[in-house]
């Protein structure tokens, strides 16, 4: 009996040790990106505080009903930009085509990002991809000027969600292995 208790205790301690050594998954963060202050022209790119490594999975989402604007009249849109398709309340909205800057072309009013000084890429209302560069993530409102822009959108950013087992999952695995070992020993007797 004491031998059985010791092997059970050793298995539990091992499982807990494994669970404690697993790096924690960073929780998603929300960042507010402003059409005026974070405009690609006349503003400053928003530093998200997220450092990415090539091969990381980046997920970004913005509520399609979250609106910002490039100015008066029909220049209100969601993070997909001024494509004329934004749903209410992101209206009135028009299709203003594309703006070319830094060798990249995206719709006016789109949420765009880049890693350090790399190429810009479209995030819009929904983005899920493996990044091919390492560095800090920056976000902008894609526009040719910022003097009449207003509003902001909130982007939820998540890096490598659920890519490692949770401590509870490892504990469960350790318990299952312990039970398997106990049943094998019981059959041998």
CATH code, domain with 32: 2.60.120.430
More confident site: 132 or 173: 132
Are 11 and 49 contained in the same domain?
Answer: no
Are 15 and 75 contained in the same domain?
Answer: no
Mean pLDDT of 17-32: 65
Range of the domain at 159: 26-163
Cβ neighbors of 67 (< 8 A, separation 6 or more) are 76, 77, 78, 86, 89, 90, 151, 153
Counting the structural domains of the chain, the total is 2
Are 130 and 181 contained in the same domain?
Answer: no
- pTM for this entry: 0.74
Are 35 and 60 contained in the same domain?
Answer: yes
Are 72 and 131 contained in the same domain?
Answer: yes
Positive or negative, the CA dihedral 71, 76, 81, 83 is: negative
8 Å CB contact between 106 and 142:
yes
Are 72 and 82 contained in the same domain?
Answer: yes
Mean pLDDT of 40-52: 97
Mean pLDDT of 149-177: 73
Are 150 and 178 contained in the same domain?
Answer: no
Are 159 and 182 contained in the same domain?
Answer: no
pLDDT in tens, 57-106: 999 999 999 999 999 999 999 999 999 999 999 999 999 999 999 999 99
């Amino acid at each position: 009996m004491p031998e059985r208790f010791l092997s059970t205790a050793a298995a539990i301690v091992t499982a807990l040790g494994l669970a404690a050594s697993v790096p924690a998954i960073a929780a998603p963060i929300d960042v507010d990106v402003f059409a005026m202050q974070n405009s690609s022209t006349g503003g400053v790119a928003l530093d998200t505080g997220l450092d990415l490594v090539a091969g990381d999975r980046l997920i970004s989402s913005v509520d399609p009903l979250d609106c910002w604007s490039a100015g008066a009249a029909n220049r209100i849109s969601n993070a997909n930009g001024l494509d004329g398709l934004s749903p209410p309340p992101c209206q009135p909205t028009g299709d203003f085509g594309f703006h070319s800057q830094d060798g990249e072309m995206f719709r006016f009013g789109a949420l765009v990002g880049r890693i350090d000084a790399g190429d810009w890429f479209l995030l819009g209302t929904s983005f899920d991809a493996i990044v091919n560069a390492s560095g800090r993530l920056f976000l902008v409102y894609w526009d040719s000027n910022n003097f009449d822009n207003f509003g902001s959108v909130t982007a939820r950013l998540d890096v490598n969600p659920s890519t490692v087992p949770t401590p509870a999952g490892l504990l469960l695995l350790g318990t299952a292995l312990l039970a398997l070992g106990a049943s094998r020993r019981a059959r041998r007797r």
